[in-house]
Amino acid sequence: MSIHEILKNYWGFDNFRPLQEEIITSVLEGKDTLAILPTGGGKSVCFQVPAMAKEGLCLVVSPLIALMKDQVENLKRKGIPSLAIYSGMPFLEIKKTLQNAAYGNYKFLYVSPERLETNLFLEYLPALNINLLAVDEAHCISQWGYDFRPPYTRIAALREHLPAVPVLALTASATRPVQDDICDKLLFGKTQQRFRQSFERPNLSYSVFNVPSKQNKLLEILRNVKGTAIVYCKSRKHTTEIAGLLRMNNIPADFYHAGLNNEERNNRQENWINNKTRVIVCTSAFGMGIDKPDVRVVVHYDVPDCLENYYQEAGRAGRDGKRAYAVLLFNDKELENLQEQVDIRFPKEEEIKQVYIAIMNHLQVPAGAGEGVSYDFDIATFTTAFKLNILTVTYAIKALEQEGIVSYNEVFFNPSSVVFTTSKDELADFEKQHPELEPLVKGLLRSYEGIFDFPAIVYESRLAKFLQQDIAKIKTDLKKINDHGIISYMPQKDMPQIFLLQNRMYADNYMVNNTNYLNRRKSFEERAMAMIAYITESKICRSKQIAAYFNDDKVKPCGICDNCINEKVIHVSTEEFNNISGYILEQAKLSSLNSRQVLAALKSINKQKVWQVMDYLQAERKIEVDKEGYISVIG
């Protein structure tokens, strides 16, 4: 099929969105390509359509497990066979997935960057018949970006194994230095192409408010702007409190953050997508990969760290092209805090070392060992046990991640899996010796096809229903069968995970690259100052400010942001105000007066100024104006 037929057949669209076709054509011509498309701009179509147009498998690198799973499920629903490999998966399940990718009829393999360098992956790589390497969230490869992830820097090593395969790098937001860094780090060829969609959102009205009561302002916004809304907060506690406040005021709302278990997150997300919940109050953990076009307002209740995050999150409003609003609430203290964040986000070198040693001791990792092992890691329990500041620990772990020492996954869910590890003859003997476990063995074999050869995802609740047994008994019996060596049973994990990318360093040879660390600190400081400049600027169009930050200087004033609207307001001097208001109040007391008479009597003054003063007097309850335009003085 042609790319237009593929688009119509699988996605149901007659036409591509702006730049999609040009990007797809570049990829099909074998050119390394950088695509910068805003949130909701249709990035996934840019690699999914050309991959469908070619023989072979598209390898997609993505850092977000939840997003990988969502995209794989979406592709499967379209009848496109797809797979995913991510950190935390059992070895046998990874091996089965790679075998399916190599020898099955699959079109997409999603992989987290940490998996690319494993011996197992490299062993199967020659058999995968890869037609395209798509790098999602490509800004993660740059140390100067807002979300640097060291495993991304190792993607380029794949190019040695895939010399003729083009690379498509995709991101929603990247400044010019980050764009150059992406192309450099991914070893783009001389024929490389770059495509950047305009950062202009003509239907999205940006506004910023410095308010004494954020709660009252939020309620006012949600009462004035009907329809679905997102409210972003920085802390989990805030999400709970604000959702409660909205419900108390009869606004259907729920909260969402990474601390909820997988089922709760999915349920709350689905209720909001299906309009059962009007407002989702969330941390930045929410929204990635969600394509809900009819969001009417996105409110940032707390000041974001940088314009990259703000633009992405605000951009989730109005994807249907209808008028939508992006509102940022702040107070002066928050701006001071953002300036101070640089010292909090970048702990001293000695503090990072202290946290590293404490984590290794907490996990009981011997010196010179641990590489490739994943551990459950509850940061709150750890900080309490070692009497450490939770913020220092959080950002020390971030620094260790950026140095490629550990990988920390706060949002982690891995369902239970089972694979038989014995022969059929030994299994028959086991069933004779343990008749009480035979129904469960038979239940597994009947419920999960291929479970004797490859790990299968199992749900203990379904097994319990099928066998009419208690779920606790099912779990206990699975562990018993596992202990006998008949199956390999990996119970469900729903805990944050820390994954060691290197063996534990001895205390006397611990080292990180301090120059890189200080450069990242400087980049963070520059991004914070750009965020503060956006908030405090009261003249320049908000859309132009955002676009200029991303080196897009072609955007015209939007005409609908708060700054543009304020520019349209004609300034009234104190003398003019006193003359106009004095005349209106005096004449309205003396006799019947209507607005036409006021305009006629004050014809030497700009008509807009007269209307502005009349609006002000009404808003301040100094006068009333009836349907006929007649003015009466209040009080």
What does the alpha-carbon distance between residue 351 and residue 537 come to, in Å, rounded to a whole number?
A: 37
| 27 pLDDT more than 90 | yes
| 411 pLDDT more than 60 | no
| Percent of the chain that is helix, strand, coil (3-state, to 5) | 50, 15, 35
Architecture of domain 574-633 in this structure: Orthogonal Bundle (1.10)
204-330+537-548 in CATH: which number?
Answer: 3.40.50.300
Are 544 and 390 contacting, i.e. CB atoms less than 8 angstroms apart?
Answer: no
Higher pLDDT, 440 or 590: 440
- Residue 413: pLDDT band with limits 50, 70, 90: low
Are 399 and 517 contacting, i.e. CB atoms less than 8 angstroms apart?
Answer: yes
Residues 6+ apart with CB under 8 A from 287: 230, 313, 316
Q: What is the pLDDT of residues 170-222, one digit of tens each?
A: 998 888 999 999 999 999 999 999 999 888 899 999 999 999 899 999 999 99
User: What is the per-residue pLDDT for 412?
Assistant: 56
Q: What is the pLDDT of residues 555-567, one digit of tens each?
A: 999 999 999 988 8
Is the domain spanning 3-196 CATH 2.130.10.10? The answer is no
Helix (H) or strand (E) holding 60: strand 57-61
Tokens of 129: 């018949």
CA separation, residue 487 to residues 323, 439, 448, 456 (Å): 57, 15, 13, 11
What does the alpha-carbon distance between residue 143 and residue 150 come to, in Å, rounded to a whole number?
A: 8
CA separation, residue 154 to residues 50, 114, 124, 151, 439 (Å): 24, 9, 18, 6, 48
Please, what CATH class does the domain formed by 339-413+495-523 belong to?
mainly alpha
Q: How many CB atoms lie within 10 A of CB 519?
A: 13
Q: Provide the residue ranges of all domains of the chain, joining segments of one domain with +.
A: 3-196, 204-330+537-548, 339-413+495-523, 417-490, 574-633
Identical fold at 339-413+495-523 and 574-633? yes
Mean pLDDT across the chain, nearest whole number? 90
| 41 pLDDT more than 80 | no
- Residue 407: pLDDT band with limits 50, 70, 90: confident
